[in-house]
Amino acid sequence: MDLLIVDGRIAERRVPEKGRGAAPDGRVIDATGHWVCPGLVDMHVHLREPGQEHKESIESGTRAAAAGGFTSVACMPNTDPWNDGLSVTEYIVAEARRKGMVNVFPIGCVSKGGLGVELAEIGDMVRSGAVAVSDDGRPVGNSHLLRMALEYTKIFGIPLIDHCEDANLSASGVMNEGFVSTLLGLKGIPGASEEVAVATDLAVAAMTGGRLHVAHISTRGSLEKVRRARQEGVAVTCEATPHHLVLTDQSVADSRYDPNTKMNPPLRSEEDRQALLQGLLDGTIDAIASDHAPHHADEKLVEYDEAPFGIIGLETTVPLIVDRCVRKGGLAPARFVELLSRNPARILGIKKGTLAVGADADVTIIDPELERMVDVSQFKSKSRNSPFHGWTLRGWPVATVVGGRVVHELQPVASR
Ligand SMILES: [Zn+2]
Ligand SMILES: [Zn+2]
């Protein structure tokens, strides 16, 4: 399959003819043996700007996205200040246009300041470019507020993305509650902390008819609830992260309390991980998102209990999923494209995730055979908090094209 790109759009798709030369003035990328995917969409990243640019900025975060094979990202609103009204949304859109290497779609708050008390200026934010609402970093928590938000977002046709967690159940926990946490003497966060919130959200979504998206789903029980609710007609989708698909709470022990294994929701049990893999294959999980959460090295270089939750993920998502889920886990490349491009675009209602003629020329080229070592010192992100440093993985993005422009190239793929 050949793709012809003219003026930033897909102009033609055709079967290559023998002996046909390249366009006289155009550039040709020979992607023989590679996957040519519609540009990948990461629907859950933290870009930290405004307010925490020492961790990441829109410029560095989108550079990391491009290096990781993503042509679009949706950024969570827990910035400083939180993105709960027109001015922050407008700032993000403008800054992304000026300095962004890839497309940036802001996610606005559900509640003012993410405090869970009063609804944020949802209408204003949607008109300024917000594609979803979420208080991620925190659960919405207040079910009455959740009800109002789901009713309100229905008017705009956007999803409400919830970080499902019962704060009372997970209070002061730092890792998954189970055998390993007992062994390590660390305070646990039970799976029920997520499942209680998922159950509440599903009931409220069913009542309102609003569109619910469960962020970073991590337990077998949560998945079963989503599966059942969907059968009953509830408008619910969910995402899983590469780290929950690849690591378990045993990694906390194996890493000797490395704070780069500390995230929220925490790494779960092997049984949960297997359930997530099953959810990828059977379609219960709609999308894979990195939950890219940059933290400065000084903040992570403290005792496990004290370290902030979260790891970066934009530059390791593709190789982790290709190596562990496609090559070794039976995930079909076509499902890979659904999970990382088509579905997140559909959930967010953005015109991405396709290589149809006339679509924006956002293209990700992946070499499924390329083997490389993860080296955080080479990352474009400003932060280095990854548990995957030193891992050797096979299957890396080699070129990222946004609107017809090559924004990242690993090694010129025999171009002329
Ligand atoms: Zn979250
Ligand atoms: Zn997050």
> For residue 285, how many C-alpha atoms fall within 13 Å in the half-sphere facing its CB?
31
Q: Are 225 and 195 in contact (CB under 8 A)?
A: yes
Q: What are the residues whose beta carbon lies below 5 Å from ligand 2 (ion)?
A: 136, 291
Q: Backbone dihedral region of 9: left (phi > 0), alpha (psi from -120 to 50 degrees) or beta? A: beta
Residue in 200, 292, 290 with CA at minimum distance from that of residue 246: 290
| 381 CA from centroid of ligand 2 (Å) | 16
**Torsion angle defined by CA atoms of residues 278, 322, 245 and 344, in that order, rounded to the nearest 10 degrees:** -80
Give the pLDDT band of residue 24 (cuts 50, 70, 90).
low
Q: Would residue 291 show up in a list of annotated catalytic residues for this protein? A: yes
| 41 CA from centroid of ligand 2 (Å) | 15
Rounded-to-integer distance, Cα 147 and Cα 142, Å: 9
| 271 CA from centroid of ligand 2 (Å) | 23
pLDDT at 347 exceeding the cut of 80: yes
Calculate mean pLDDT across residues 180-198. Answer: 98
pLDDT at 204 exceeding the cut of 70: yes
pLDDT at 363 exceeding the cut of 70: yes
Most distant CA pair in the chain, distance: 67
Q: Are 242 and 216 in contact (CB under 8 A)?
A: no
Q: Tell me what pLDDT residue 26 has.
A: 79
Task: Say what percent of the chain tops pLDDT 70.
Answer: 96
Report pLDDT digits (tens) over 378-395. Answer: 999 999 999 999 999 999
| 23 CA from centroid of ligand 1 (Å) | 46
Closest ligand to residue 163's CA: 1
Closest ligand to residue 165's CA: 1
Q: Tell me what pLDDT residue 20 has.
A: 55
Report pLDDT digits (tens) over 159-172. Answer: 999 999 999 999 99
Q: Are 216 and 291 in contact (CB under 8 A)?
A: yes
Catalytic position from the list 42, 162, 291, 367: 291
Q: What angle do CA 285, 324, 319 make, to 5 degrees?
A: 95
Calculate mean pLDDT across residues 281-286. Answer: 97
Give the list of residues 6+ apart from residue 120 with CB closer than 8 angstroms, or none. 84, 85, 108, 109, 110, 111, 112, 133
pTM: 0.97
Q: Tell me what pLDDT residue 415 has.
A: 47
Average pLDDT for the chain = 95
